[in-house]
Structure 1
Amino acid sequence: MEKSSFFNSVSGDRVYRAEEWAEYFASFIGNGVFPVPSTSLQVVAGSGMAVAVKTGKAWINGYFYYNTSDLPVTLATADGVLNRIDRIVVRWDLTERKISVAVKSSAPATSPIAPALQRDADAYELCLADVLVGAGVTAISQANITDRRLDGSLCGVVAGVVDQIDTDAFNAQLEAWFADYKEMSVDEFNDLVSYMESLELLGDQQYAALEAYMNDFKTDAENDFNAWFATLQNVLDEDAAGHLLNLIQNNTARIEMLEAVLFNDITTNPFLILFDDLDGVTATGVWNAALQRIEC
């Protein structure tokens, strides 16, 4: 059957339905999210179990969708022991005759799988984001939200004419880079932690070694002093001390006699100097044999 459009109606002979207009627009505008602004229909974390779909526009099968303000979406309560994935979609619903945001939840599981998109004659869905709802969580963080807008197989970006931009390769490359960067960052962080722990361990070992060295030095010093002091005590017993005192007194007496001879201006004879012994004494003068004396 041949079809053509659109012409003016004459007496009501040209009546066009919405489907025909949608078919017309779909022929040169592909499905997806409008790329301007870059946050168009982006899913962001809200408060508690809520997320928000940012303002933006989408195009599905020739039909136009426009979210004029941030749209809050509250997710169901998390399972107590299992995880799930909530897929945030923009759904074109021919039966309901509208396009709206909806949430599709996977079955709870240890490793859940995102629910499939419906794309048939009755409904067509674009995935905006996947949200990982962990077991027992009470709030959604941005880290749990995976943006799917650039994935051409799930959503894609609107482009004219005829088809949308193929963002599959770009999205795959971006996700691969992010995965590599994340893995590298984790490895570098673990290396840094290991290095810091090794420094801490080395510091503890060196401090313990220094502490042991100082304790040994203190003990050795105390032992050396005590040994020296004990030796000194053995040398300076009562007999040794008394002997030293006698020597000092004898030397003092002899020094006094020498001073008397040398410094008291003795010039007349006779005079007498007595010595206990002659150890260390050197005398000069004239020997008087008759009187048995040295005369100075």
Structure 2
Amino acid sequence: MERYMFFDSVDGEDERYYTADEFADYFRRFIRNGIFNGSGDNLQVGAAGQDMRTFIKQGYAWLEGYLYKIDIEPLELYHPMAHAEYSRIDRVVIRLDKTLENRYVKAFVLTGIPSENPQIPSLTRDENIYELSLAQVEVLAGKSFIESYQITDERLNSAVCGIVTHLFEQVDTTELFNEWQLYLDARKSHGDMEFEAWLAYLTDKKQDASMEHASFLALLNSKFSAFQQTWSNWVSDKLTTPSGEFYMQWKNWFDRIQQDWDIWFDHEAQRVWQAWVSDKLTAPKGEFYTEWKNWFEDIQDVTNLVPRSQFKAHRDKTIKEGVHGLRLVGGSLEAEVSEGNWHRIGQSVINTWGGM
């Protein structure tokens, strides 16, 4: 079918109608698919590292003659939660959909399949749908947020995206992308090896430190036990050797301490006893003094030459009669009832009275 474009219509005579796809096809002839380079972060995919969202920065893309743009603020996309055991690879794409029910150019997340060896989702490119891949996103098993290191930029890969540079030929950046990707992979592999070596070094050091610590404790305990045994043997030997210097010094010290203690105890015990007795005897109303006085008075009738009862009766009588004194005459006790006037009292005694 012959088709030519674009010409003005003549109302009522020669109407010229052109579809959007015909208009896009016109530009497909000399503008190739990809993103416009811009400042270098054109439609770059990133992540905040807080949840399962990624974002696409502002920029422009060209898909089969159709323009796509984000021109105000980054566009956020949501990724399904990670599998508990297996990782997967998602893709962030720009999709042209010319089907009648859609007719749009939008950004989407192509969700990968969790697996021990996850595969990258394929792009759809047919007569109605055309997709450009901006980035791969590795969704790690059991992880609830996406970080920037999990994102692989694919904008420079001409096989899945590429850059629009001029009207007639698109620069093939696939080789550049592949070289850059190989460099990143090599650096990542080298970093992983260094990290694993570092972990192995730490593990070895931890084991070595634990063994050294255990060995040190064992050696310390051994030395301490040996010291205790040596000390015990030395002391035992010194104390059981009567002529040894240590034994003699210890015995002299012990004898001196014992002597000092005996002297102190003898004097102190005697002092305490005498003080106690003195205190008891000088307390007229004290229990000890009362009991001692009663005892002393009871034995006076036995020990005195003049019975206490007789002397007490005489004392009461002399007080009553005003007697001035006592005397012994011929073995008899006489009392002075007035000056120069003596009167014999009681029976004859053998000797003088011996106490009160």
**Which TM class, normalised by the smaller chain length?**
0.5 to 0.7
Alignment partners' CA distance in 2, 1:86 and 1:24 = 33
* Structure 1 segments unaligned to the other structure (5+ residues): 246-296
Residue number in structure 1 paired with 2:74: 70
1:87-136 per-residue CA deviation (whole Å, 9 max, x = no partner) reads 22111222343321123334454433333222122121111122334455
State the 1:83 CA deviation. Answer: 4.5
Q: Does residue 170 of the first structure (1) align with residue 176 of the second (2)?
A: yes
Q: Does residue 92 of the first structure (1) align with residue 92 of the second (2)?
A: no
Asked if structure 1 preserves the Cα contact closer than 8 Å seen for 2:90 and 2:139, the reply is yes
Q: Which has a greater percent of helix?
A: 2
Assess, with a 3 A threshold, how the Cα gap between structure 1 residues 236 and 184 changes in structure 2: closer, same or farther: same
State the 1:154 CA deviation. Answer: 0.7
Asked if structure 2 preserves the Cα contact closer than 8 Å seen for 1:104 and 1:115, the reply is yes
Alignment partners' CA distance in 2, 1:120 and 1:75 = 25
Q: Percent identity at matched positions?
A: 31
Residue number in structure 2 paired with 1:43: 45
Once superposed, what is the RMSD of the aligned Cα atoms? 3.3
Structure of larger gyration radius: 2
Residue number in structure 1 paired with 2:63: 60
- Whichever residue aligns with residue 53 of structure 1, its letter is I
Q: Does residue 186 of the first structure (1) align with residue 192 of the second (2)?
A: yes
Residue number in structure 2 paired with 1:294: none
Assess, with a 3 A threshold, how the Cα gap between structure 1 residues 196 and 84 changes in structure 2: closer, same or farther: closer
Per mean C-alpha deviation after superposition, the further-off stretch among 131-140 and 92-101 is 131-140
Higher relative contact order (CA 8 A, sep 6+): 1
Alignment partners' CA distance in 2, 1:71 and 1:155 = 19
SS in 1 for 2:131: strand
Residue number in structure 2 paired with 1:199: 205
- Whichever residue aligns with residue 60 of structure 1, its letter is L
- Whichever residue aligns with residue 119 of structure 1, its letter is R
Aligned residues between the structures = 240
Alignment partners' CA distance in 2, 1:194 and 1:139 = 28
Asked if structure 1 preserves the Cα contact closer than 8 Å seen for 2:45 and 2:54, the reply is yes
TM-score, normalised by the number of residues in structure 1? 0.67
1:63-93 per-residue CA deviation (whole Å, 9 max, x = no partner) reads 2211113112223455566554332211122
State the 1:152 CA deviation. Answer: 1.0
Alignment partners' CA distance in 2, 1:232 and 1:82 = 76
Assess, with a 3 A threshold, how the Cα gap between structure 1 residues 232 and 100 changes in structure 2: closer, same or farther: closer
TM-score, normalised by the number of residues in structure 2? 0.57
Residue number in structure 2 paired with 1:31: 33
Asked if structure 2 preserves the Cα contact closer than 8 Å seen for 1:37 and 1:56, the reply is no
